[in-house]
Amino acid sequence: MEFRHLGGSGMKVSEITYGNWITHGGQVEDDAATACVHAALDAGITTFDTADAYAGGAAEEVLGRALAGVRRASIEVLTKVYFPTGPKGHNDTGLSRKHILESIDGSLGRLGMEYVDVYQAHRYDAASPLEETMQAFADVVRSGKALYIGVSEWTAEQLRAGQELASALGFRLVSNQPQYSALWRVIEADVVPAAQELGISQLVFSPIAQGVLTGKYRPGQQPPAGSRATDERGGGAHFVSRFLRDDLLARVQLLGPIAAELDLTPAQLAVAWVLQNPNVSAAIIGASRPEQVAENVQASGVVIPLPLLERIDEVLGDAVERDPARTAQNAPKTRLA
């Protein structure tokens, strides 16, 4: 496993990070989730990402139990705040001071930890003054309940405004967590240049495009039984649906020979691809089985030669989503209750 600095901070994270969105507390049983976490630790992963809203808080609880007994200083634990939690009352969402300060205590209780390494704004909250949000995050850091502050799916303009306020309050934003894959490159035009300027790095989720870049979804065929595309209960089917077009799936099948040239599986190629971006500190992988973790960690340290990167671009062509406006379009316009 290789490690990279998180933004302009002195802390390093494992460039393959284990995340439990959708899976823990939802798609897979607790024993299987614990086995995946232990497989991640065995593979050298030290960084674990979760959120208070995942599975109604159950994901944090599962992760906390799975990491119990692990030396705390040897791992990095990240969680998030924004989306509705608890009984979903009028103050159970957003980035108000009230919700942030109550939510960090809730997350620490579920994780069974005294602090998290990175506390992230899960989305931008247009309903709360940014000054209020940043002051609350400053107080979370000063209290020792979080060591660093990050965000998720913020636009370039929001990153600039947030970093300016954070700096005035004595801390820095160190990370942004966007969706990013060879098929979804909306951050490249605006977000990445702004982040590089501000000392913020990317912790990217869905590097395998919800499993599509494994090649298991084939044009003209029904999704495999047990795949994310069939997961109605955990919500996986909704998130993967945008990629299930026959023209796109046909192009993805052509990536297999490129992966083979590097002695990689298509999934490993997809994870290695996002790590070629120097502004990416880590690729967040999920898993429902330990062997998936063992496979994906093999992408650490892989260098894809430029000619093969160019071939990937040629193969995927106009199937790639590049519109930078998609970041803002996918952000909540009003608070979700």
Report phi then psi at 266, rounded to 5.
Answer: -55, -35
Catalytic member of 54, 82, 124, 148: 54
Q: Which residues lie closer than 8 Å to 63 by C-beta, 6 or more apart? A: 20, 24, 33, 37, 48, 50, 77, 111
Q: Compute, in degrees rounded to 10, the torsion defined by CA atoms 144, 332, 55, 137.
A: 0
Strand residues in the chain grouped as ranges (E)? 3-5, 12-14, 16-19, 47-49, 76-81, 116-121, 146-151, 173-176, 201-204, 280-285
Report phi then psi at 26, rounded to 5.
Answer: -140, -80
CA dist., res. 224 & res. 72, Å (int): 39
Active site residue 54: yes
The residues that are catalytic are 54
